[in-house]
Amino acid sequence: MGAMAGEPQARCKSCKKPVDASNVRRIDREVQPRVFERAYVCPHCRAVLEFASWQTGTRHARKL
Q: Specify the pTM.
A: 0.71
Q: How far, in Å, are 22, 33, 41, 52 from residue 29 at the CA level?
A: 20, 11, 14, 11
Secondary structure (DSSP) of 37-52: EEEEE-TTT--EEEEE
Task: Indicate whether 1 belongs to any domain.
Answer: no
Would you write out the chain's pLDDT as a tens digit for each of its 64 residues? 455 555 668 999 999 999 998 999 999 999 999 999 999 999 999 999 999 999 998 666 555 5
Task: Indicate whether 26 belongs to any domain.
Answer: yes
- Residue 39: domain span: 9-57
Task: Indicate whether 15 belongs to any domain.
Answer: yes
Task: Indicate whether 4 belongs to any domain.
Answer: no
Structural domains counted in the chain:
1
